[in-house]
Amino acid sequence: MKWYPYGHDFGNAEMGGVTVINGQNHTLSIPTAFAKADTNAMRNLGIKVDQSNAHVIQFRDEAMAYSVGELALQQSVDVYHGRGDIQRYASKYSLRGMLTIAASLIPDAEFGLYVVTGLPAETYIKNMSLRSNIKTALDGTHVFTLDDGKTWRRVTVEVATVVMEGAGALIAYGDALSSKTTESAVIDIGGRTTDLYVSRGQVPVTEYCKGKPIGVESAAQMLMTTFESKYDRSLSLLEAREIMYAFASNGETKYPDIAVYGKMISSYELDALVKEAVEQVGSEIVSFVASAWRQSDRDAVAASFRPILNIGGGVFYFHKVLKQRIPHLSLPNDPVHANPIGYCLLAGRLLMRKRQQTTGANA
């Protein structure tokens, strides 16, 4: 059985995975959403449940299948996302998400995953027992199908370690720029939270590791509230997501067709509504960073952090306003997968070390 290093990022809006196949990084992100799936009904509606990109997972020892990601959002108004529940990191949902993404990336019928995953800074610091609970929840051999029972996959999972979110990004992108005597930092803006991480070398500086429940979905919720107030018509979650994505694409994706009482809302109007929401939430994020890192004229702590990486899906909305306040803020090549890329890199190092120790013991 072949073992793969794997970086697992169970975000509260998006979950991502990274592994290495034939020397190349392979990444995938899907929305953090799960819904019980009636596969017979789905087939009757013309949904090809046996396609791996449909993201329907069923364990052999469970009677119920689950749709995952975009499909869950499309098929159900009552989805599980685990927001506000820190135990979700050690849940069956985290396992379902990880295996769905990993088996979508890796074609083998049987394989092993040597996993590194992360926790938000404050959760990591305040809930030490959660790290061992994650290992208990994810470890083991799991048999499941992604194609409605046509084939069954057998995956053995071993969690190598759990680190603080932000550490992954610095492993992936910050090693060459940082030193053991200066602090490196990460601003991670996700769907629901903004997390700050600072370390000296590989040692976190907990004084500056903070988190706040504000992110892209804060702006999306503000958009939905404003839209309903102005047009007396509510937006669905999918419509709001499409509008937000169109705004972030800088013209590459068109705004969706939204009608109110038979009248189309122009893309200009939608753009103005999103821009207002993004600017408002962006100013709140800047204030949070400034407060946490004492970014004032007299005590600009953040000025001494080198580098400061801006990662997460929120960079497509809030990077510009943050960079105005922190001019040396840098954007890595793949900000969305920055953490799991680093997790995967660390998993690869630990897997290599484990193999060397096993080889030495058998010599």
pLDDT at 46: 66
Provide the residue-wise pLDDT of the chain in tens; the chain has 363 residues. 999 999 999 988 899 999 999 999 999 999 999 998 877 766 666 666 655 567 899 999 998 999 999 888 887 667 888 877 889 999 999 999 999 999 999 999 999 999 999 998 888 988 999 999 999 999 999 999 999 889 999 999 999 999 999 999 999 987 655 555 678 999 999 988 899 999 987 788 989 999 999 999 999 999 999 999 999 999 988 899 899 999 999 888 999 999 998 899 999 999 999 999 999 999 999 999 999 998 665 456 667 788 899 999 999 999 999 999 999 999 999 999 999 999 999 999 999 999 888 776 665
Residue 309, beta-bridge partner list: 186, 330
pLDDT at 176: 59
pLDDT at 358: 78
Tell me where in the chain the CATH 3.30.420.40 domain(s) lie: 2-164+338-362, 169-332
Over its C-alpha atoms, the chain yields an Rg (Å, rounded) of 21
320-324, long-range: CB < 8 A, 24+ apart: 321/279, 321/282, 321/283, 321/285, 321/286, 322/187, 322/282, 322/285, 322/286, 322/289
CATH T-level fold of 2-164+338-362: Nucleotidyltransferase; domain 5 (3.30.420)
pLDDT at 180: 59
- The Cα 91–Cα 138 span in angstroms is 8
CB 278 within 8 A of CB 318: yes
> Cα–Cα distances in Å, from 208 out to 51, 118, 203, 244, 326?
45, 17, 12, 30, 16
CATH architecture of 169-332: 2-Layer Sandwich (3.30)
